[in-house]
């Protein structure tokens, strides 16, 4: 067969996300051949890896058959097998491009990628035209979606064959005009674990997101996760976790269910529904023997909490679109180390605090800001460390600074080694409680996320502002 022109992907300026694809068609005396969908080549040229699950073919008997304008809630890749069509698209999504239109003639050498929420229509220019389209959601008879009047004067599509002479279904003759159509809303962001410190900060940073606590959706309930209406979402922020480090030593099943099994199910769901999964992890996936850890450091957890978080990390990494955010020493609104130290300072108590565990504080608002940055900039998927910056400190250093900020002398904080602290505060044998091992160093390098343009705040500067709220 004869050589054809190269595959080309052309963005359409008027309708964001709409792409025209010029397909090489190889022809000889026998006929012609084309690769109608070639994932590797097309994705490399900028076509979304949209994961088609259904291929529909529409045979149109006569020239002038006109279908649409239908706005299905899924992506489509349209082309023709035989004949030609005049294709027309109208942006039906909320936003500045609502009502924008685009049209092009499609023969076997042209295809169009149509993003979710863009109304799709065509008019056949030849008899016996076969129109084909790939979609990435299974069609269901209960699915409702907006449609638009083919003759809408606001859009004013220039149909080559007058609609009065066209073959149009009864249903398509009664679609509403643009001013009567409810625009299609974008898929939503779901926040899991919204009742915790991090979940509340994420809800504040993403106010239009659907934030749910454990009572509404428990990530340890696999059946509930599978039954959730994931087609309504495009991003999941998973702040749900079992974070009680010492309790995890005896609550092993609970810790693994929340920190490992739940994230593994979410990763599977993210693959199936093409979701972006953001998951938050911990410096406890390391043993603390290194001075600092970057994103490629080998996992080497000490206790059950760290082991279960490490297992969750490995599971989340299997989701094609994932951001795994590792952090340390998390502080937010509510009960935490800084709030406890501020209360003790104001109550006149002089605590003893360990001084041989080293790391950097990370405030939940910073984690939420970093999350938005990664999503907004569409940074490369993968693992990112996010902590406060500045010189690493010990927990005793943090406590002393909190005391100073509340008007107490930093000398009122006594310092002790981890071994001595737990020797003095060991649980009684009959309590059933266990002390979990802690990494001596939880210092995480933030160079990778800084290279994307994000500048983490200085940990002690943020601490100064935070203490006034405690």
Active site residues: 70, 133
Write the DSSP symbol of residue 388.
-
Tokens, residue 197? 């410190």
Tokens, residue 370? 């970093």
What are the start-end ranges of the H helices in 361-425? 364-377, 395-405, 418-424
Tokens, residue 144? 């409702």
The 10 Å Cβ neighbour count of residue 378 is 9
What are the start-end ranges of the H helices in 180-284? 197-205, 222-227, 252-256, 262-273
- Beta partners for residue 293, in sequence order: 444
- Beta partners for residue 22, in sequence order: 8, 110
- Do the Cβ atoms of 135 and 51 come closer than 8 Å? no
- Do the Cβ atoms of 260 and 253 come closer than 8 Å? no
Contacts of 268 (CB under 8 A, 6+ apart): none
Question: Which residue, among 466, 319, 323, 304, has the nearest Cα to 384 in the 3D structure?
Answer: 323
């Amino acid at each position: 067969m004869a050589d054809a022109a190269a595959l080309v992907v052309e963005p359409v300026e008027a309708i964001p996300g709409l792409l025209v694809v010029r397909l090489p068609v190889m022809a000889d005396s026998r006929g012609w051949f084309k690769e109608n969908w070639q994932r590797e080549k097309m994705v490399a040229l900028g076509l979304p890896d949209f994961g088609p699950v259904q291929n529909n073919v529409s045979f149109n008997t006569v020239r002038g058959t006109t279908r649409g304008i239908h706005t299905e809630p899924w992506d489509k890749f349209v082309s023709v097998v035989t004949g030609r069509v005049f294709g027309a698209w109208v942006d039906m999504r909320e936003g500045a491009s609502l009502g924008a239109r685009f049209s092009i003639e499609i023969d076997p050498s042209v295809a169009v990628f149509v993003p979710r929420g863009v109304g799709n229509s065509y008019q056949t220019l030849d008899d016996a035209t076969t129109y084909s389209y790939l979609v990435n959601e299974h069609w269901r008879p209960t699915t409702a979606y907006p449609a638009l009047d083919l003759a809408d004067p606001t859009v004013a599509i220039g149909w080559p064959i007058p609609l009065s002479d066209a073959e149009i279904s009864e249903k398509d003759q009664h679609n509403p005009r643009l001013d009567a159509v409810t625009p299609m809303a974008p898929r939503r962001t779901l926040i899991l674990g919204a009742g915790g410190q991090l979940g509340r900060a994420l809800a504040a940073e993403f106010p239009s997101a659907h934030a749910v606590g454990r009572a509404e959706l428990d990530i340890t309930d696999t059946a509930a996760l599978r039954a959730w209406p994931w087609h309504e979402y495009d991003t999941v922020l998973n702040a749900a976790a079992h974070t009680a480090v010492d309790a995890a030593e005896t609550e092993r099943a609970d810790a693994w269910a929340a920190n490992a099994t739940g994230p593994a199910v979410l990763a599977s769901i993210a693959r199936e529904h093409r979701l972006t999964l953001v998951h938050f992890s911990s410096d406890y996936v390391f043993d603390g023997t290194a001075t600092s850890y970057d994103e490629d450091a080998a996992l080497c957890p000490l206790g059950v909490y760290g082991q279960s978080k490490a297992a969750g990390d490995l599971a989340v990494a299997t989701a094609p679109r994932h951001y795994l955010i590792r952090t340390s020493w998390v502080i937010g609104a509510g009960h935490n180390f800084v709030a406890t130290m501020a209360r003790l300072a104001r109550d006149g108590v002089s605590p003893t605090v360990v001084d041989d565990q080293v790391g950097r504080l990370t405030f939940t608002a910073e984690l939420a800001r970093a999350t938005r940055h990664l999503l907004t900039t569409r940074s490369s998927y993968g693992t990112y460390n996010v902590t406060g910056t500045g010189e690493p400190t010990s927990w005793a250093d943090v406590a002393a600074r909190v005391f100073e900020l509340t008007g107490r002398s930093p000398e009122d904080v006594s310092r002790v080694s981890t071994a001595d602290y737990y020797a003095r505060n060991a649980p009684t044998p009959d309590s059933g409680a266990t002390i979990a091992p802690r990494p001596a160093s939880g210092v995480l390098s933030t160079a990778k996320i800084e290279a994307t343009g994000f500048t983490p705040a200085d940990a002690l500067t943020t601490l100064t502002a935070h203490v006034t709220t405690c």
